[in-house]
């Protein structure tokens, strides 16, 4: 966006977010970075609009999170407004665990894969080999802190096959979802990241078998010949929670 259009865009975005016109959808406002001339005022203005979250790019340290929290408070953000931190610099990637643990207001990490690639002086290749350490490292940090983490964007909007392959890779790695840049990416992303009917049914079986076994005082639980442990039950509950959240979107 042209620099001379940013102030008008800020006003229009905040007005739209505060309008209530988006129903039950979760609304996040993306601010400019803290190191830009617009970033701090963007965050204050977004705070006043009261969105579900403010997304801040190029978060590189715990100190950045503290600054974002202060700016949200200065703008009068409600307690329900969360921080989404985009990690896309070497400092941010290497400090991911500390950033994740720095604030309860921080709930989501977003991978800035374009900038990570640039910082590595790497090239975009199928499978994203140059990015795998950064992706895995931040994913582990998010899981340790109980945060949601979203995979980065896919730039070639005409390459539907490549986009689906990257969605599958991200889902298999354990990401909770993916950031998108074009409406054509919505359907395949939702289809790949949403639990399948078979996964939902299997999750119900796991929870039912677990509850029945515990009620009967049994120490061993199996479903379809597979041993079931706490971790399987926790994952099954997560699958059902995701499926329910999707169904409630209408």
pLDDT at 173: 97
If asked whether residues 136 and 201 sit together in one domain, one would say: no
Give the up-direction half-sphere exposure of residue 43: CA atoms within 13 A in the CB hemisphere.
26
If asked whether residues 118 and 237 sit together in one domain, one would say: no
If asked whether residues 103 and 226 sit together in one domain, one would say: no
Does residue 220 surpass a pLDDT of 90? Answer: no
Q: Which of 152, 184, 212 is the last residue of a domain?
A: 152
If asked whether residues 105 and 26 sit together in one domain, one would say: yes
Written as one string, the DSSP assignment of 205-222 is: HHHHHHHHHHHTT-S--E
Confidence at 144, pLDDT banded by 50, 70, 90? very high
β strands within 28-129, DSSP E: 28-30, 53-56, 82-87, 106-111
If asked whether residues 226 and 143 sit together in one domain, one would say: no
pLDDT at 200: 95
Q: Say which CATH number the domain at 122 has.
A: 3.20.20.60
Average pLDDT, the chain: 95
pLDDT at 25: 86
Q: pLDDT tens-digit profile of 175-196?
A: 999 999 999 999 999 999 999 9
Number of domains in the chain: 2
Confidence at 140, pLDDT banded by 50, 70, 90? very high
Instruction: Please state, as a whole number, how many other Cβ atoms lie within 10 Å of the Cβ of residue 133.
Output: 12
Q: Is 154 exposed, middle or buried (0-12, 13-18, 19+ CB in 10 A)?
A: buried
Paired with 178 in beta bridges are 151
Residue 172 lies in a domain: no
pLDDT at 1: 67
If asked whether residues 202 and 128 sit together in one domain, one would say: no
Does residue 203 surpass a pLDDT of 80? Answer: yes
* Angstrom distances, CA of residue 146 to CA of 12, 63, 104: 33, 20, 10
Which domain covers residue 230, as residue numbers?
197-248
If asked whether residues 38 and 138 sit together in one domain, one would say: yes
- What contacts 140, CB < 8 A, 6 or more positions away? 97
Paired with 83 in beta bridges are 54, 106
Q: How far apart are CA 164 and CA 170, in angstroms?
A: 10
């Amino acid at each position: 966006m042209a620099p001379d259009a940013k102030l008008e865009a800020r006003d229009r975005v905040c007005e739209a977010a505060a309008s209530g016109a988006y129903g039950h959808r979760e609304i996040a406002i993306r601010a400019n970075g803290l190191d830009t001339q617009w970033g701090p005022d963007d965050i204050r203005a977004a705070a006043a609009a009261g969105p579900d979250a403010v997304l801040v790019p190029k978060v590189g340290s715990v100190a950045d999170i503290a600054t974002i929290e202060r700016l949200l408070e200065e703008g009068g953000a409600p307690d329900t407004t969360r921080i989404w931190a985009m990690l896309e610099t070497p400092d941010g990637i290497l400090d991911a665990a500390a950033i994740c643990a720095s604030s309860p207001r921080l709930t989501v990490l977003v991978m800035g894969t374009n900038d990570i690639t640039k910082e590595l002086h790497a090239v975009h290749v199928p499978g994203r080999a140059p990015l795998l350490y950064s992706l895995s490292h931040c994913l582990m940090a998010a899981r340790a802190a109980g945060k949601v983490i979203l995979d980065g964007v896919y730039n070639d909007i005409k390459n539907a096959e490549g986009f689906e392959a990257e969605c599958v890779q991200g889902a298999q790695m354990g990401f909770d979802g993916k950031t998108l840049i074009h409406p054509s990416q919505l359907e395949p992303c939702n289809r790949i990241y949403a639990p399948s009917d078979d996964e939902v049914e299997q999750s119900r079986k796991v929870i039912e078998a677990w509850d029945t076994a515990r009620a009967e005082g049994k120490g061993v639980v199996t479903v379809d010949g597979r041993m079931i442990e706490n971790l399987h039950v926790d994952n099954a509950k997560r699958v059902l929670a995701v499926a329910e959240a999707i169904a409630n979107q209408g």
